[in-house]
Chains A and B, each alone.
Chain A
């Protein structure tokens, strides 16, 4: 037997420095990505537990598991945690952080210290929200509608509001960093139209983060101000206007939906190209559709107030503008499908998630058109139809994209492969569990089941049972990647620098990448996804 020869591995970003200090004080965008992954995974589990408790309560028509008051707190905390502590930072702060410098050929983001600061700010805000939960939580829903949130609710509105206010600043810091990085740090030859589409979508996302988040911050500040000083900014008794709060809130929170889903669209573009071995069809259209979604996203907030006392003319305008969002969204879906056409398609795990995304996003988007129509919206406002619609976008869209991206780039982040068969099974379980959870909710909503109720008429029970069963399956599907991806971190087979034989600068450096990414700044000569032109380099011949 020949004794095993241990080849000294070149140090990478994980091994170059050791110890807890080197992690907590790191300014390396790749390590900050991992700090964020750890944090948001924790919050995702927490939000998920709240969701499961909600589903368990809804298993029977009466309130038996938790009291109605507790139920109000459960769905409020579920929304707050999932939106601000998981979905908003999910892809940008993790995969975006890791990949932007690598995709443009830079050594780091433009402001590495600001990047680390954003994580600490995020944690402080997150812990404050946790502190609010420890003190009894909040029951206003994630939307903080006045005057309930300012006058009547006796729960921890102020603490939670301050927490979200602080988390918002971490989001702004990330946005500023990404915009400047993409503008200023692209390697020679990396022109705007050679950039991977993931970067176009993250750039658009960052613009939304920078321009929408401050409005939420100021709206929350006004709520806190009103509560603490007992003055009536939004209180009708003193001449205030509660609907004004809704305008300010949705001016952020509707674009926030695009903060959640645009990065996923970018991930899907990368995956679809890599596993079809083709350039994304209509690159320029897909790139500008991200920009268009970001811009239009700012002009549709009023469709959340169709029944809240908005003038007929505003409602008409917001309805038409909401329809317009369908155009760039459809461009994306059609172009991804056209990319598959005559491609050499392989159905690896990331591709399963990407295809799942395309299907579920289409359903979510189409039902979005239902609620953009004034007449239908009056019928389904505040029903489970709306719940199902936005979960198809946020979970079926954003989370599927996040999981797909995590699987696609995990070999780059960890340097190791995950068990492929298990991963494929998990992807299918997630897809099935998701549809079983949320499709019955479309039916429920259409029949008139209102959101945020702990009890319901017994004839709807079978639909709720289906939904709860689906949620359990979905939980298993989410737990599996958590387990096997952590397992693969140390024990998975080595991935090599380019396991998928994909284009893109990130696949040309070793996995895990060295601390400074590129020894010398690369010079880019190919356009993105040039599978035809790079056949030999990628070993695809």
Chain B
């Protein structure tokens, strides 16, 4: 065991491998929690979509499909760079890992910027429930429900992604400080797992909000 590894090894564990596997299991269990967290919203969305198929379709047609699609591609790119970063540190290439992590965080920021552009467009179209909402539809209720879920779910996703950007940046800084090497990179692995999870959630959000309105 190297000195760096010994420093990183915490009390209840006997070996670095033991510690790494345990941390990974912890993140998996946490992701199970997250699935149920988003799951509550997905269930509620599904129930209302079943009640108001037409109204929700109307809502979906108001989405800015172009930005949403670009954003999906953007997040898939970040998943790719995140995987490359983990691959780099596994092969002890700290500089490459550092750069890839920075790029990942940057792509995350691009996603958020595009997302907020979308929110601004919705605001200009007066489609923000609770703040400024107008509808020409005689049944404004279902369309408003659609937008409530749209803002709640993509907003919650954006919060998760912001936390992800913070974590990835922290990992980049710690890599630059030489805290990780080919033998010890647990924290990057765990962060990567979280990042991929947040990306996958976006895949489902894209599917339920954007695709139905595609003509």
Q: Is the interface of A mostly helix, strand, loop or mixed?
A: helix
Closest Cβ of chain A to B160, distance in Å, is 13
Complex Cα spacing A233 to B34, Å: 21
Query: Interface on chain B toward A: helix, strand, loop, or mixed SS?
Result: helix
The residues of B that contact A27 with a CB separation of less than 8 Å are: 11
User: B69 at the A/B interface (Cβ < 8 Å)?
Assistant: no
- Structural contact, A229 and B40, CB atoms closer than 8 A: no
* B63 to A: closest C-beta gap in Å: 19
Asked if B131 CB lies within 8 Å of chain A CBs, one says yes
Contact of B130 with A by CB under 8 A? yes
A239 within 8 A of B: yes
Interface flag for A110 (CB, 8 Å): yes
Interface residue total, chain B, C-beta cutoff 8 A: 37
Q: Which residues does chain B contribute within 8 Å of A177, judged by CB atoms?
A: 26
Contacts A211-B32, A225-B152 known; A217 to B37 CB distance under 8 Å?
yes
B142 touches A239 (CB 8 A): yes
B87 to chain A, nearest CB (A): 26
**What residue in chain B is nearest A517 (Cβ atoms)?**
B12
B12 touches A185 (CB 8 A): yes
**In the bound complex, CA of A248 to CA of B152 (Å):** 16
Q: Which of A412-448 contact B (CB under 8 A)?
A: none
| Chain A residues, CB < 8 A from B33 | 172, 175-176, 210-211, 213-214
Q: Report how far A175 CA is from B51 CA in the complex, Å.
A: 36
Q: How far is the CB of B39 from chain A (nearest CB, A)?
A: 7
Complex Cα distance, B215 from A499, in Å, reads 76
B129 within 8 Å of A (CB atoms): yes
Least Cβ–Cβ distance between B117 and chain A, in angstroms? 22
A210 touches B130 (CB 8 A): no
Cα(A32)–Cα(B92), bound, Å: 38
B174 at the interface (CB under 8 A from A): no
CB contacts under 8 Å to A, within B150-165, are 152
Picked from A112, A179, A215, A231, the residue with its CB within 8 Å of the CB of B29 is A179
Point out the residues of chain A lying under 8 angstroms from B11, CB to CB. 27, 107-108, 112, 516
Q: Does B141 reach chain A (CB closer than 8 Å)? A: yes
The size bracket of the interface on A is 35 or more
Please name all residues of chain A whose beta carbon is closer than 8 Å to the beta carbon of B30 when the two chains form the complex: 172, 176
What per-residue 1/0 map shows which CB atoms of B20-37 lie under 8 Å from chain A?
Answer: 011001100110111011
Partner of A110 from the list B12, B40, B41, B148 (CB cut-off 8 Å) is B12
Closest residue of B by beta carbon distance from A181: B12
Q: Does B144 contact A (CB under 8 A)?
A: yes
Please state if A231 and B148 are interface contacts (CB–CB under 8 Å).
yes
Expressed in whole angstroms, the minimum distance between the Cβ of A154 and any Cβ of chain B is 19
- A261 on the B face (CB < 8 A): no
Chain B residues with Cβ below 8 Å from A238 are 141, 144-145
Give A110 to B25 CA distance when docked, in angstroms. 10
Nearest-CB distance from A107 to chain B (Å)? Answer: 5
Is the CB–CB distance between B40 and A218 below 8 Å? Answer: yes
Residue of A nearest to B144 (CB): A238
Question: A239, B51: Cβ atoms under 8 Å?
Answer: yes
Which residues of A from 272 to 319 have beta carbons under 8 Å from B?
A: none
A140-192 CB contacts (< 8 Å) to partner B: 172, 175-177, 179-180, 183-185
- The B-contacting residues of A in range 321-340, CB under 8 angstroms, are none
B contact residues around A175 at 8 Å (CB): 29, 33
* Minimum distance in angstroms from A215 CB to a CB of chain B: 5
Which residues of chain B in 1-48 are interfacial with respect to chain A, using CB atoms and an 8 Å cutoff? Answer: 10-12, 14, 18, 21-22, 25-26, 29-30, 32-34, 36-41, 43-44, 47-48
- CB-CB nearest 7 A-B residue pairs: A229-B130, A218-B40, A214-B37, A239-B141, A238-B141, A214-B36, A184-B22
Known contacts A110-B22, A211-B33, A239-B51; can you find 9 more A-B pairs with CB under 8 A?
Answer: A111-B26, A184-B18, A214-B37, A218-B40, A222-B44, A229-B129, A229-B131, A240-B48, A240-B145
Question: Which residues does B use to contact A, with CB under 8 Å?
Answer: 10-12, 14, 18, 21-22, 25-26, 29-30, 32-34, 36-41, 43-44, 47-48, 51-52, 55, 129-131, 139, 141-142, 144-145, 148, 152
Could you list some 25 contacts between A and B, CB below 8 A?
A: A107-B12, A109-B12, A172-B30, A175-B33, A176-B26, A180-B25, A180-B26, A184-B21, A184-B22, A184-B25, A185-B12, A212-B36, A214-B37, A214-B39, A215-B37, A215-B39, A215-B40, A219-B40, A232-B145, A239-B52, A239-B141, A239-B142, A241-B51, A248-B40, A248-B43
